[in-house]
Every structure is written in C-alpha cells, then in structure tokens.
Structure 1
Amino acid sequence: MEWKLPNELNNPAPRDIYRLPIFIKQWVWIFGVLGFFGVLPILIISAVILNNIHKFEVHGLVAIAHIDKSYLVKERHGWNCMVEYSFFNKERVFIDKNKTSYNNINCSRMYGRNIKIYYLKDNYNRNVPMDKNRENENSLMNISSLLLGLIIVSSCYVFLQSFFQLRREAKLMRLGCATQGWITTSAIKRQNNQRFLRVYGIYKDREENIYNFHKDFSLMYGDDGNSVLEKAKLNTTILYYPGRHDLNIMYPPKYIGFYSE
C-alpha cells in the first residue's frame, strides 16, 4: 500500500496540540486500583491488628509471669526462642501453658525469669508479655510503612514514565518530522501478567539513514494480535526529531492529539 502522510501532520511546525483525556483517565484508574487493592487493605489490616495490640494496653490487666521453659525452634526465617510461662490472675487462678516466641534474644537466659504480661479479664488465654506487645506494635508499623512506601515509590515510577512519555510525544507532535515506517517483525510478550504485542520496524530520515523503532500494543484475553498487527502495518507513519532518533514514536501517539482532528 502506498504511504500517505496524515493531513494533520502536513501542517507547519510548531503544530497545535493538546493532551488527550486518556492521560488523566489512566491515572485516575491507576490510583483507584492502587488505593483499593493496595493501600486500603494495608490500612484495614493494620488497624485491626493495632486495635488488638492496644486492647491489651487499655483493657488488659498486668500480672507477673514465670518462664517455665525456653528452647529454640526452627522457623522460616531462622531460629527463634520459644518460651512457655505461667501466672496467677487477679483472682489467684493459676494459668499455665502460655507460649510466645522471641527473635534475636539469648534463649538460655530466658529460663527462670519473671516477666510482666497483659491478660484480658474475660479471657485469660488471651495474654501477651508487655515487651512482646510493644515489639509487635513496632513491627507492624515498620512493615506497614515499608509496604506503603513501596506502593508510593512504584506509583511515582509509573507516573514519571508516563510523564516523560507525555513530554516526548508532545515534542514530537509539535516539532517532529514525519516519514514512512516499515514493520519488520513482531512478538507477543508478557510483563506483570499482562500480554502485549510489540512490533519492530525501520524508517529513513531525510538523509536516507535507516533507524529502528518499536511500539507496544495491549492485547485482550485470547487475542493473538493479528488484527492489531494488520492495522499497524497500514500506512505506518513515524515521527522523529532530527539529531535525537531515540525519541521516535509510531503515529498516532498515546497521550497527545491535534486540535485540528
């Protein structure tokens, strides 16, 4: 098929461009998904666990417990010290066979010690050493902060990628040169459990030098990419910036449009 320059690209530079609504819609969708499936579950789970921890501090009664046994146990992330302790509650009822584990502690020195514990008046089996309760609270806050930090950093990374792509497309749409492209090969790839079609091709600049380009197309479930590939082959147009051929894009771009369209 004979290549034809799109009419809107035939206007002299700088061309009149605008940002397509998909840029904002994409970010509303991304932040919505991250908030609903990422931040919100972390906050809910942390709030529930933190409430249980604070319940001992607010409603728990304090008792002195005696450590009857201490021994090492092998767990997923290494060796921990398991201690078994007993205590008398406020009504002088003997409560035994209570267990908890510590990490990074000299287990042999735990045997025979007395420790302070919290216990619930209406449920003696719900009890925890005071230092362990503080340790659980600190661990929860550290893990929650780490997970939220990772989500924020990941969001910023994706946002910056989209932002730089937006700037790249805007520059090329306003000032770039248009030329014919030829698709040479294609492949279906997978990233983050998402399938997409990547097409590879070549184009020539005004000096007849040859350069490479590629573009990714999202695929629906079960799509083999043939229909997308056929559309991509029709009248393939490449926008490039003289002297910066790493900025080339396949027309039309994702985020930028023309007011004349």
Structure 2
Amino acid sequence: MSTGLRVERDEKTGVAVVTLDRPAKHNAIDLDTAAELAATWREFRFDDTVRAVVVTGAGDKAFCTGIDRGAEVPQPTSPYSIDDPLVAIGPKANDLWKPVIAAVNGMACGGAFYLLGEAEFLLADERATFFDPHTTYGMVSAYESIAMAQRMPFGEVARMSLLGTAERISARRAYETGLVSEVTPDGGVLAAAVECARTVAGYPAGAVEGTVRAVWAAKEAARAQALAHAPHLIALGNLPPEQQADLFGARSSGGRGSGFRLR
C-alpha cells in the first residue's frame, strides 16, 4: 500500500487536509500515489463530514514536482492514445465539487499543475516558486499549460511554458499575475489555507458546492476543448526527430518541407 499520501480529517470543522508525503522525492507522484489521490477525491464525494479540502506537500522544499522520474508508464503505439497517470489525480477529474484550496510550499513544477489547475484557489508561502520544465527536456507542455491558461494571462503562461527551467516564478509574481490569491509569511501557508477552508466549510454545503460548479461552468467549454487536443500534441512532440521530419515533410529542404508553403 502506498505511503505517499496522508489524509487528515477534522469532523468538527468539516476540513480535510491532503498531504503529498514524499519529501525525500520532493513530493513527486509515483503510480501508487496517483491512484491513491484519485481514490481519495472519489471517497470525499460520499463523505458528508468533509465539506472543504486543503491540498499541500510535506516538508518545506516542495509542494510537488510532478511525476516521479522512476515511474514506468507503458504507452500504446497509437498516436491517438496516450496513458498519463496524472490526468486523474485532480478533484475535478474525479467529479468532486467540494471546494479544494491549495497550500503551496516550496517548488511547484510540471505535473504539480494537474493538481493546482483543479483547485478553487491557491495560497503560497513567500518562498514558493513555480516553473514548467517540459521544453527544457524536449517535452511538450500540454496539460500543464492548458491548466495554467485558465488562471494566468496568456503571455505569462506562454513565457513560463516556453522558457522551461530558465523561468522561475516567485510567489509574489504569481500573486501579481493572479495565479495565487494570497502570499503568506514563511511557514504560514498551511494554517492560512486551513482557515479559509474552515470558513467555507461553515457555510451550507449545497450553496458552496453549487457555487463551485457555477464558477467552473464559466470556463468548462474552453477547457474541455483544449484538453481534447493535449494527447495528440504530446504524442507528436514525443516522436523522434527523424519521424517528425518525415511527418512534416522537412527531410531535405532545410526545415521548409513540402507540407508547409508560404503564401
């Protein structure tokens, strides 16, 4: 059984705290932890003692650094299918419409955005940083950039996604761009997030959950449409360079193949 996740419930206040508990791995998510996260969100759907949730990372180094690099995920050969174990780690992917608040301590990068993108709002420790390393390592940032495009101005998302590890966004800058709603003093982010959760959990559950659903409905169509393209973009981006050249007709014309013509 995975020990990568810690769940604490306070039935008196109606708040649950979900902690990614792999500090030695910078709270990277292995396959067992991914499955446990999905199961936890689904369990909360039926637990009326939980009315609001805080998600955070253990320790003070990282909130989450995405998928564990040691995870082995077999892939189908079809370019129209891709198995991504992080797709189902968020609350909305598991049909949970109770409010989820993220308490970001330390680094949040790459696959962490799967979780952050499905929280209602984010609080960050003053030492927190955000970045997306995909392009640096020759990978397409699809799900991550789509999630952040729902929360940040287009230019800020593009800058972070394209500059990779060269662009580290501070907690203060994240606040200025709207990614984060509050920056807390060092060590205070979890307490501040729990306090927000306690306030929300004290309100009638039907009104709260209906409001959560309404807020998400405002952007659901654009989000769903963008996510539908993500697997294909990742599959194409993961092809070896020679296959990309064949696909785009760039084999022998210095980068401008027969498939592209300027008019």
Same fold (TM over 0.5): no
TM-score bracket, shorter-length normalisation: under 0.3
Q: TM-score, normalised on structure 1?
A: 0.22
Q: TM-score, normalised on structure 2?
A: 0.22
Structure with the higher strand share, 1 or 2? 1
Q: Which has the higher contact order (CA 8 A, sep 6+)?
A: 1
